[in-house]
Structure 1
Amino acid sequence: MQVIETLAEGLKREIKVVFPAKDMEGRMNERLAEMKDKVRINGFRPGKVPVAHLKKVYGKSIMADLVNEIVRDQPPAILTGRGEKSATQPEIAMTEDKDEADKILAAEADFEFTLSYEVIPAIELKPVNGIKVSREVVEIGEDEVTEQILKIAESARSYEPKKGKAADGDRVKMAYLGKVDGEAFEGGKDDDAELVIGSNRFIPGFEAQLVGVKAGDEKVINVTFPADYPAKNLAGKEATFDITVKEVASAADIEINDELATKLGLESADRLKEIVRGQIESQYGSVTRQKVKRQILDQLDEMYQFDTPQKLVDAEFDSIWRQIQTDLGESGKSFEDEDTTEEKAREDYRKLAERRVRLGLVLSEIGEKAGVEVSEDELQRALYDQLRQFPGQEKEILEFFRNTPGASANLRAPIFEEKVIDHLLSEVDVTDKTVSKEELMAEDEAEGAEKSETKKAAPKKKAAAKTEAKADAAAEGEEAPAPKKKAAPKKKAAEDAAE
C-alpha cells in the first residue's frame, strides 16, 4: 500500500492511497484458498475444486468485498498513522469508470482512492490560572420566599360567590361567543369560562370591561386582536364577545400555613418554604452559572485564536441559519424589521459559528487532557430527561437514539462541556460578589439562554434578542439571537384574548 499526500493547505488534506494489483490479487488468492475446503460446487468433490475455477466463479465478488473492507478500515488507520484527527468523516473518491472498475476487480489494475478531509488543529493548552471570574450571589430573604409562595398559592386559592359587582381580582364565570364582522369564529365560544380579572389571560381590553358586571348580566364586549396575534385570520381584527355572566366570586385571603401546604401536596408550611427557597436558589444559581461560564469562555476566546475546520463551521452556521429562518417565518418579520440585512446577518452568524467551533475544540482538548469523562449513568439520566420532555413520544425517541449513528453525542456533548467548566472553576480565580436579584438577572442585548459550545442543543422556542448578532453573542454558547416573538396562544381564541 502506498500513501501519498497530494494536498496540505491550511487544515485541508488530500491523500492518495494505492493498492497494487499484485497485492490485491494476493489477498484474493488467500480468500480463495480459505474457501477451497468449504465451498461445494456441482461436479467437484469437496476440497477438490481448482483455484482457477473458484476464481472464475467468485473472484469478482471477493475483490468487491476486499475493496469495501479497505475503504472502511484503512482511512482511520491512515489518519492514526499520520497522527491526525479528521474534523468530519473523510470524503472518499474512487474511479466511477466501469471499465477501470472491472480491471480492478479482475486484479488487472491497481486499486486507487483518495481521502479528502480537514484536520483538527493541534491546540497547545495555556495556563488558566490567570483567568479571573466574578461569581454573583443573591441573598434570598424571607419576603422573597413569601412572595413566591403567594404566587404559587394562586392555583389553590378559593373563591366565594358574591352578590355585588365584579372588581379587580374577582373571578367571573361566564359564557361567551366571539364574533368578527358579526360572524362567530372558530375557538371563540365557551359556555363555562372562568376568568380572574387582572390575570391578563385575555386580549387587552377584555378583562377591564368585566369590572362592574353582576351574576345574570348580559353584555357585549368590544376588543381588537393584536396585529401580531398568532391566528392570522384574527390578527388586527375588531371583534365582539357576547357575554352572559353566570357567577361573580371574590378571592379568599391566602395564609401561609399547614393547610395551604396540604392543598399544595406537602406536609407542612415549613416544608413548603424549604422547597420554594430551594427553587429560588436553583433559579438564581442557574443564572449565576451562566454568567460565570460566559466569563470563562470570553477569556478562553481571547487566549486561543486559530484556524477552524470549515466543514464544522459550515455545519454550525447551517444549524444557526435554519433556526433564524424558522423564527423569522413564525414571527412574520424580515431582517429589515430587525434593523439589519440578510448579508450582514449571515456575516455575523458566520462569526458566531466560528466562535462556537473554536471554543468547542478548546473545551474538548482541555477535557481530554484533564481526563474528563461522561459515564453511562449520566447519559441514561440525560436520555430520561429527554423522554420526560416529550410525553407520549418515548418509543420514537428511544428508537431514534438506538438507530441514529452519533445521536448519543447530542446527549454527551453538553454533559462533557459542563464537566469541563466544573474542572476549570476548580483552577481559575473565582471571587464571590453579593448582588441584588435585579443586578443578577440583568442581561445585555447579546445575552440569552445558555447552549452547548461543543454541540448545539435543540433550539428553544422563545423570545430572543435582535437578529443582529454581535461578536460576543456566543460568549456562553447561547442560542443564536433571533427576532422577538410574542407569547404562544392559548387553547381557545377567546381565551387567547390575551395570550
Structure 2
Amino acid sequence: MDVAVVKDEGLSKEYRLTVPAATIDAEMDAQLLEFSQSARLKGFRPGKVPVSYLRKTYGQRMLGDVITKTVDQSVKDCIEQQDLGQTMQPKVEIVEYDEGKDLVLKVEVQVLPTIPDIEFSKITIKRPVVDEKSIEEETKEALERIAQENTSYSETKRMAQKGDALTVDFKGMIDGEAFEGGSAEDYRLILGSGNFIPGFEDQLLKKKPGEDVEVNVTFPEDYQSENLAGKEAVFAVKIKKSEKPEAKGPSDELAQNLGLENLEKLTELVRQRVGDEYAGHSRMHAKKDLLDRLDEALDIELPALLVDQEAEQVARQMQAERGVVDADHDHDPEHDHDHDHNHDHDHDHDHEEKKVEVTDEDRELAQRRVKLGLALAEFGRRNNISVTDQELGQRIAAEARRYPGQEQAFMNYVKENPQMAEQFRGPMFEEKVVDFILAVAEVEDVKTSKEDLMKELVD
C-alpha cells in the first residue's frame, strides 16, 4: 500500500492511500476460501466447492464486504505506520475504484493530543465544609418541617387563620364567563401555602365555615396559561369546613408514625441525610476546584473538529436556557465534560441540525470541556479505571426507580438501546476518575457558611 501525506497540520492529517488490486484479490480469495469450507451447493460435496466456481457465482455479491474490510484494514495500517496514536474516527472517501484496478482512498484524521503526566499528589484542592453547628441547626429545621408536614388537624368553628386547612367549593369567572380549571368541589386548601393565585388565600382569612366569599384576584402576567395571564377573575367560594393544626413538634409519636422507634432514631436519620447533602456539595466544590487546576495545568492542542462540535452543543444549551433554541433539539443541560473522545467516536449524523450562532464565550467553554474530557479519559485509562457492568446495572436500576410502575419498561428500553446505557456510563466513569484523583491529591478542608456551600456551581 502506498501512503502519500497530503496535509500535516498539527492534529489534522490527510492521506491518499493507494491499495494495489492484488491486495483486494487476495482478500477476495481469502473470503472465498473460507466460504468454500462451509458452502453446501447442489452437485458438490461439503467443503469441496471449487473457489473458482464460487468466485464466478458469488464474487460480485461478496465484493462489497471485501472492499469494506480492505478499506478498514488499510486505514488501520496507515494510522499505525504513521504512528499517530489515538485518533478520532477517520473520515474516509473512496476516490477511485474499478474492479480489477487499484483502490484509491482519501483519509482525513484528527489525532488526539498527548496528555502529559500530572503528579496528583502535588495538587492542593480546597474543599469547603460547614461546621457541626450548622449541621445541627439544619437538622433541627428539617425535623420541624417534617413535623409540620405531618401535622394533624381538628375541626374548628373559629375564624380562619394562617395555617388552617379549609375545605371549599369554588367557581371562577372572567368577564362573567367560567373558564377551564377555574372550578372545584371539596378542595382542601392550607392557608398560607401559596398554592393559589396571589391574594386568593389572604381573602379567606378571618372567615368561618358556612360563609360564602367573593374573591377578586388578577392572574400574574407570567402565568403558565397564557389565555389567563394578566386577567382579572372573580371566584365564588363556599367554605364548607375549617380545621386548625394541632402543632406538636418533633416527638416520639411523630417518629413512630413514620415507622421509626423514637425521636432519637428519627433525628439520627435526618442528621445523616443533612450530612450527606452537605458532603455532596462539598465534593462538587472540590471537583470544580480540581477541574480548574487541571485546566490551568494542561497546555495542549485540541482537535478542531471536537471543539467545533462541542461549541455548537454549548451554544444550543445556552440558547435553550434562554428559550430561543429549536424545540425539537434535545440537549442535556447537565452536560459537563464529554470524556469519551476516542477513536471509536462516530460523528456522522442522520440529519442536518439547524445551525446556531457560536459566541466566543461558547467556544471558550467548549475548549475547556474538550480539554478536561480528553484528560480525564486518559487519566482513567492510565490508572485502569472503568465502570463495571454491575455498577452500570445498579445505576440504571436506581434511575428506573424514579418511574414507579414503569421500572421494567425503563429497563427494557435501556437494554434495547445500548446508547442509553452509555449515557450513564460516561458520567459514572468521570466521577470515578475524579474520586481517584481526589484520593491522591492534597485536600484541604476550608470552613464556610451553609449559604456559600449550597451555591449553584457553573462551568
Give the TM-score taking structure 1 as reference length: 0.78
Question: Distance between the aligned counterparts of 1:75 and 1:403, measured in 2?
Answer: 31
Asked if the contact 1:224–1:237 (Cα under 8 Å) also holds between the matched residues in 2, the reply is: yes
Aligned to 2:113: 121
Deviation at 1:151, TM superposition (A): 0.6
Question: Distance between the aligned counterparts of 1:245 and 1:231, measured in 2?
Answer: 26
Aligned to 1:59: 59
Does 2:433 match 1:420?
yes
Question: Distance between the aligned counterparts of 2:269 and 2:237, measured in 1?
Answer: 41
Q: 1:140 to 1:230 in 2, by over 3 A?
A: farther
Aligned to 2:342: none
Q: Which runs of 5+ in 1 are unaligned?
A: 333-341, 449-472, 475-499
Aligned to 1:150: 144
2:188 to 165, 184, 194: 194
Does 2:157 match 1:160?
no
Deviation at 1:215, TM superposition (A): 0.3
Deviation at 1:191, TM superposition (A): 0.5
Asked if the contact 2:221–2:229 (Cα under 8 Å) also holds between the matched residues in 1, the reply is: yes
Aligned to 1:492: none
1:204 to 177, 192, 198: 198
2:291 to 297, 305, 315: 297
Q: 1:324 to 1:45 in 2, by over 3 A?
A: same
Q: Which amino acid aligns with 2:175?
A: D
Deviation at 1:5, TM superposition (A): 3.3
Aligned to 2:214: 220
Question: Distance between the aligned counterparts of 2:151 and 2:116, measured in 1?
Answer: 61
Asked if the contact 1:90–1:115 (Cα under 8 Å) also holds between the matched residues in 2, the reply is: yes
Match of 1:235, SS state, is coil
2:369 to 342, 349, 356: 356
Aligned to 1:432: 445
Question: Distance between the aligned counterparts of 1:200 and 1:115, measured in 2?
Answer: 63
Does 2:378 match 1:386?
no
Deviation at 1:149, TM superposition (A): 0.9
Superposed CA offset, 1:221-251 (max 9, x none): 1112221122111122222221110111111
Correspondence list, 1:334-345, <5 A: none
Superposed CA offset, 1:267-316 (max 9, x none): 22111101110111111111111111111111111111222223322333
Aligned residues, how many? 429
Does 2:151 match 1:138?
no
Q: Which amino acid aligns with 2:295?
A: D
Aligned to 1:496: none
Aligned to 1:489: none
Question: Distance between the aligned counterparts of 2:283 and 2:365, measured in 1?
Answer: 21
- Which piece of structure 1 moves more, 368-377 or 212-221? 368-377
Q: 1:41 to 1:170 in 2, by over 3 A?
A: closer
Q: Which runs of 5+ in 2 are unaligned?
A: 327-354
Question: Distance between the aligned counterparts of 2:445 and 2:390, measured in 1?
Answer: 32
Match of 1:13, SS state, is strand
Deviation at 1:354, TM superposition (A): 1.5
Give the TM-score taking structure 2 as reference length: 0.84
Q: Which amino acid aligns with 2:361?
A: D
Question: Distance between the aligned counterparts of 1:94 and 1:150, measured in 2?
Answer: 71
Asked if the contact 1:166–1:212 (Cα under 8 Å) also holds between the matched residues in 2, the reply is: yes
Aligned to 2:101: 109
Match of 1:424, SS state, is helix
Asked if the contact 1:87–1:312 (Cα under 8 Å) also holds between the matched residues in 2, the reply is: no
Asked if the contact 1:180–1:237 (Cα under 8 Å) also holds between the matched residues in 2, the reply is: yes
Q: 1:11 to 1:402 in 2, by over 3 A?
A: farther
Question: Distance between the aligned counterparts of 1:206 and 1:220, measured in 2?
Answer: 10
Question: Distance between the aligned counterparts of 1:249 and 1:296, measured in 2?
Answer: 54
Q: Which amino acid aligns with 1:120?
A: L
